Amino acid sequence: MEALLSSTTTTTLRPSLTPSSTKPPLSLSTFTTTTHKLSKSNKNIRLRVSATSPKPATETAVDTFTVPSEMKGWVYDEYGGVDVLKYSSNVTVPSVNDDQVLVKVVAAALNPVDFKRRLGKFQATDSALPTVPGYDVAGVVVKVGKQVKGLKPGDEVYGDISEKALDGPKQSGSLAEYTAVEEKLLALKPKNLDFVQAASLPLAIETAYEGLERAGFSEGKSILILNGAGGVGSLTIQLAKQVFGASKVAATASTSKLELLKSLGADLAIDYTKEDFEQLPDKYDVVFDAIGQGEKAVKVVKEGGSVVVLTGAVSPPGFRFVVTSTGSTLTKLNPYLESGKVKAVIDPNSPFPIDRVKEAFSYLETGRATGKVVVYPVSEEYILEKLAQ
Ligand SMILES: NC(=O)c1ccc[n+]([C@@H]2O[C@H](COP(=O)([O-])OP(=O)(O)OC[C@H]3O[C@@H](n4cnc5c(N)ncnc54)[C@H](OP(=O)(O)O)[C@@H]3O)[C@@H](O)[C@H]2O)c1
């Protein structure tokens, strides 16, 4: 594959000693995964990158793993609908720059930017084709570049692998067995979250956090979130309430999702199929538009307030921004995730196994997903190892 260099490397890897998730992590049972078929305790998992003779898994064992030059992954070499996606078994494993680590992908999540990019909407600033799509990853570090200081092989990490979502995003994304990522874009996976939950978070939670910060949101302020049930909105509700200390959180969704909004912390859940939020008397310090209703959004903001727009038209005083990936945001939010104050929201149709990525995209592209659509398991060796336990 052009510009994706082939490499064969032997990596010494200590088995992870950190249990990922041994208990049902969430209370939002309808909309989140409480258990995943294969995600029981991963204590003493040996990550078998290729079929080498495994040593016994003991706490002191050091195993040698070989990173192959080719891997399985989803690729497209022309822009278009889901049918341009091909599942290939000879995708080149990306090389690792000095500031990067190679991650064995366990779970990946889909974002609307993945399909918008695949449709060619960002061609002017996109990386060259062919593309392995995928921004969100949760997995295990198997190799580190020379300048990497804080991560080592065996670390369980998560992150959004492309610093700029639209400006030269990675050509070799997370919907493959390996992806190379700058250390600064990753954080250690919260101990209580499994890989599915961790993969669901990075791009969406970083967008929510950056949007709230850019809007100057702070304790005691009120906020209206347009599209509270999607990937970004479901986390924005929680961050506004639990991290920023909102005095009032209102959010929109269709009828069947109003209870979810309330369970996430919304004080007011507005059914957009029955009520027009701009006709309601309330005004807000901040309006967070995660659906493309910027022109209506500015009508319900208080004077001097902010309107953050993620997509679609922007009217003054609204502003739009594109998320910048940074692992430090995830590290900052890890305590809230570990305490359970902020929870991953996984669409009930998730996770989709790696061979059903087209189906996963078709579903996301309906615009009806609740929380995040996750792909898991991604790496077969990892699954076999888990099943053997
Ligand atoms: N600028 C950035 O950096 C940035 C970052 C992330 C995302 N985005 C963009 O932000 C948008 C949201 O992303 P996302 O990942 O949250 O999307 P998503 O998860 O695909 O959103 C799906 C949700 O949208 C809801 N929805 C549909 N029509 C609605 C309406 N009229 N009012 C309220 N909710 C409605 C659906 O709920 P119902 O089934 O109830 O309708 C569904 O639960 C996308 O356009 C994405 O590209 C931008």
Contacts of 97 (CB under 8 A, 6+ apart): 145, 180, 182
- Running DSSP on this structure, what letter comes out for residue 225? E
The pTM is what? 0.87
127 Cβ contact partners less than 8 Å away, ≥ 6 residues apart: 168, 169, 170, 171
Q: Residue 195 in 3-state DSSP?
A: helix
Tokens read off for 255? 């009828």
- Return the best residue to mutate from 264, 278, 310 for the ligand 1 pocket (most ligand atoms within 8 A of CB): 310
Q: What is the rounded CA–CA span in Å between residue 352 and residue 375?
A: 5
The span from the CA of 234 to the CA of 289, in Å, is: 12
Q: What is the pLDDT of residue 379?
A: 85
Supply φ then ψ for residue 137, to 5 degrees.
-140, 150
Q: Is the CB of 256 under 6 A from ligand 1?
A: no
| Residue 347 contacts residue 366 (beta carbons within 8 Å) | no
Q: Omega of the bond prior to 317 within 30 degrees of 0, cis?
A: yes
Distances (CA, A) of 206 to 52, 92, 200, 235: 38, 29, 11, 9
Instruction: State yes or no: pLDDT of 262 exceeds 80.
Output: yes
Whose alpha carbon is nearest atom 34 of ligand 1? 227
350 CB within 6 A, ligand 1:
no
From residue 50, how far is each of 13, 100, 126, 203 by CA, in Å? 13, 21, 32, 30
With a cut of 60, say whether residue 225 has pLDDT above it.
yes
Among residues 118, 13, 136, 1, the alpha carbon closest in space to that of 69 is found at 1
Q: Is 345 in the pocket of ligand 1 (CB under 6 A)?
A: no
Average pLDDT over residues 51-67: 42
Confidence at 53, pLDDT banded by 50, 70, 90 = very low
pLDDT tens for each residue of 313-361: 999 999 999 999 999 999 999 999 999 999 999 999 999 999 999 999 9
- Whether the Cβ atoms of residue 312 and residue 293 lie closer than 8 Å to each other: yes
Nearest CA residue ID for atom 8, ligand 1: 310
364 close to 110: Cβ distance less than 8 angstroms: yes
Distance from C-alpha of 379 to C-alpha of 356, rounded to nearest angstrom: 13
Atom of ligand 1 nearest to the CA of 310: 1
Compute the distance between CA of residue 153 and CA of residue 145 in angstroms, rounded to an integer. 11
**Closest to 174 in 3D by CA, of 125, 113, 222:** 113
For atom 17 of ligand 1, which residue has the closest CA?
230
Whether the CB of 9 sits within 6 Å of ligand 1: no
Alpha-helix runs per DSSP H in 85-160 = 112-118
CATH number of 204-320: 3.40.50.720
d(CA 43, CA 196): 17
Q: Hey, whose CA ends up nearest to atom 29 of ligand 1? A: 227
Domain boundaries, the chain: 9-201+349-387, 204-320
How many whole angstroms from 337 Cα to the centroid of ligand 1? 22
Domain spanning 9-201+349-387: CATH 3.90.180.10: yes
Atom of ligand 1 nearest to the CA of 364: 20
Cα–Cα distance measured from residue 67 to residue 75, given in angstroms and rounded to the nearest whole number: 20
Confidence of residue 388 (pLDDT cuts 50, 70, 90): low
- Of the pLDDT bands very low, low, confident and very high (cuts 50, 70, 90), residue 381 is low
